[in-house]
Amino acid sequence: MKRLLAHTGLAAGALVMLYPLLWMISASLRPNTEIFEHPGLIPERPTLGNYALGWSSTGTSFGIYLMNSLIICAAVVIGNVLTCSLTAYAFARLRFVGRKTLFGLMLATIMLPGHVTLIAQYSIFRNLNWIDTFWPMIVPSFLATDAFFVFLMVQFIRSIPVELDDAARIDGCGAWGIYRRIILPLLSPALVTTAIFSFIWTWNNFFSQLIYLSTRTRLTVPVALRGFLDATGSSEWGALFAMSVVTLVPVVVVFVIFQRRILAGMAHTGLK
Amino acid sequence: MIARLRQSVPAYLFLLPWLIGLLGLTIGPMLLSLYYSFTDYALLNTPEWTGLHNYTTLFQDSRYLQSLKVTFIYVGVSVPLEMAFALAVAVLLNRGLKGLAVYRALYYVPSLLGGSVAIALLWQQIFGSDGLLNDVLGVFGIHGRGWISEPGTALWTLIVLRVWQFGAPMVIFLAGLRQIPDEVLEAAEVDGAGRWQRFWRVTLPLLSPVVFFNLVLQIIGAFQAFTPAFVISGGKGGPSDSTLFYTLYLYQQAFGNFRMGYAAAMAWVLLLIIAVFTGLNFVLGRTWVFYGDEGARR
């Protein structure tokens, strides 16, 4: 009986939490006149018209925005996996002068609010003629600036037995060989976690895309979506919801596929 | 020494990308921002040294003070609420119910999507005067209001949006709860502790490092919230500056008015505020965070 009560409560809670999302999906399938008619979920006259309308109504195909977001995300994922693992390997396994100080600095940058570098970064990127290009979003990831992932990988590498390194060293491997042949393959769970979170965070990252991108054909999904109503100059709520759903689908798909890893990754960051 | 330096060469090769980033994208820009904060700089001119002028202006700027107030209310209300929900649901879920994984995933979904522009736009609709909330209230015969268009309630819609995302700290709480050995709770039960007592005297102290970690993280994050306020208020922070978040005002000054020096000063003050709060957390944490191994050593 108690169990039933708990289940009912939890299920009801989940429904209330997810209702706005379900309602948005439902609204995207209704004609404009029906959206605010009733708060229910079942469309009376379901239509895909909003999707067709939304896809092209900003004057640029939504496919372009999706492609731009995808390009940036793919580059960031590669950059983070590559350079964060190099950095983490050095911190976790190699001895060098200044290790403690640099490690402390790396940890400190995790907590650093981005605004304190923002203005100067903007002016630097401007001098490099990088405004309205993808470079301000991509280049930092190839310089391992997301220290959170470095830390995640350092923790993971520390759990890999050092004996494996020693064995490889006896077989004639140098630092690069150990990194390439031993660490990198064994690190793959942490690399996947890094890739997933890099993708999701970059996909949703509105702020830098907002300040750096301006040409319509170079916009990414969040920036395009936010300017949707201005661009269409109307109140096409149905089309707006349809495109909102489109922008959320990639994240939901990634979550469904990698659910276990994402939740484990979340839990890991909290412990140890 | 030479030998040690030589030994360090391979490590520094591995660290090269990160070092370039650290100097070129973090420390360098930080110092440059600090310099800008003492200047009048509009991006197109050469920065002109004005000393402490930006900083003294800040505290006479009524919109800046308003942004501070809004942000403090937002952090002070939403973070405790979010943490309370996360902890309560985590404790409920941790009682060995079937379907834990499903509930955990469902409750996590809002955290996954909540920071996006799509959800902020959805919020704008839900809490609009003709929105979903008023439709639902209408079913019960309650006449709603324009939650977002009225200065008295607009900030609360943003607080609700943050609390809605309690799934992320909840997942961390759940992992922490799993680390508490059953034996400890059973021993307390044998000693006659009721459910409530077990929670307050055993579970919560053992969980306190995780509570602490979540608290620090959430406070830092909440101070920097931007997207929902920007999208929902159309970039303005209205109505009547009631949703003028700190970062939103910073954005307006930097990219609307091109007062880069002023915005840089704002950024440095923000860093200070966050540092003070984090420091305060660590100091106060000593009085309530319980690290098991410490007790064992005594």
Chain A residues near residue B22 by CB distance under 8 angstroms: 105-106, 109, 145
Tell if the CB–CB gap between A113 and B264 is shorter than 8 Å: no
pTM comes to 0.92
pLDDT of residue B296 exceeding 60, the answer is no
Q: Domains in chain A, ordered, with CATH?
A: 2-47 (no CATH), 62-270 (1.10.3720.10)
Closest Cα of chain B to A157: distance in Å? 15
Tell if the CB–CB gap between A105 and B113 is shorter than 8 Å: no
A102, A114, A247 ranked by CB distance to B116: nearest = A247
Query: What ipTM was estimated for this complex?
Result: 0.91
pLDDT of residue B297 exceeding 70, the answer is no
Question: Which pLDDT does position A271 carry in this prediction?
Answer: 43
Tell if the CB–CB gap between A175 and B93 is shorter than 8 Å: no
pLDDT of residue A86 exceeding 90, the answer is yes
| Cβ–Cβ pairs < 8 A, chains A and B | 255
How many CB atoms within 10 Å of residue A219? Answer: 23
Tell if the CB–CB gap between A123 and B32 is shorter than 8 Å: yes
N-terminal to C-terminal alpha carbon distance within chain B: 41
Torsion-angle region of B5 (φ positive above 0: left; ψ -120 to 50: alpha; else: beta): alpha
pLDDT in tens, A199-232: 999 999 999 999 999 999 999 999 999 988 777 6
pLDDT in tens, A168-209: 999 999 999 999 999 999 999 999 999 999 999 999 999 999
Question: Which pLDDT does position A13 carry in this prediction?
Answer: 92
Tell if the CB–CB gap between B11 and A248 is shorter than 8 Å: no
How many CB atoms within 10 Å of residue B279? Answer: 10
In this prediction, residue A2 has a pLDDT band, given cuts at 50, 70 and 90, of confident
Percentage of the residues of chain A whose pLDDT score is greater than 90: 71
How many CB atoms within 10 Å of residue B194? Answer: 10
B116, B213, B268 ranked by CB distance to A116: nearest = B268
Question: If you count DSSP H runs as helices and E runs as strands, how many of each does chain A have, helices first?
Answer: 18, 0
Furthest CA-CA distance within chain A: 74
Closest Cα of chain A to B190: distance in Å? 22
Tell if the CB–CB gap between A244 and B121 is shorter than 8 Å: yes
Question: Which pLDDT does position A162 carry in this prediction?
Answer: 92
Task: Please provide residue B146's backbone torsions phi and psi, each rounded to the nearest 5 degrees.
Answer: -85, 90
pLDDT in tens, B205-252: 999 988 998 899 899 999 999 999 999 998 898 888 999 999 999 999
Q: What's the CA gap between B220 and B162, in Å, rounded? A: 13
Q: What's the CA gap between A50 and B251, in Å, rounded? A: 33
Q: At what angle do helices B117-126 and A237-257 cross, to 10 degrees?
A: 130
Beta-bridge mates of residue B49? B39
pLDDT mean across residues, chain A:
90
pLDDT in tens, B51-94: 999 999 999 999 999 999 999 999 999 999 999 999 999 998 88
pLDDT of residue A268 exceeding 80, the answer is no
B25, B95, B278 ranked by CB distance to A117: nearest = B25
Task: Please provide residue A200's backbone torsions phi and psi, each rounded to the nearest 5 degrees.
Answer: -65, -45
Q: Which residue, A106, A191, A113, is CA-closest to A148?
A: A106
Q: Domains in chain B, ordered, with CATH?
A: 52-297 (1.10.3720.10)
pLDDT mean across residues, chain B:
90
Tell if the CB–CB gap between A175 and B11 is shorter than 8 Å: yes
Q: What number is the average pLDDT over the span B123-127?
A: 90
DSSP assignment letter at A145: -
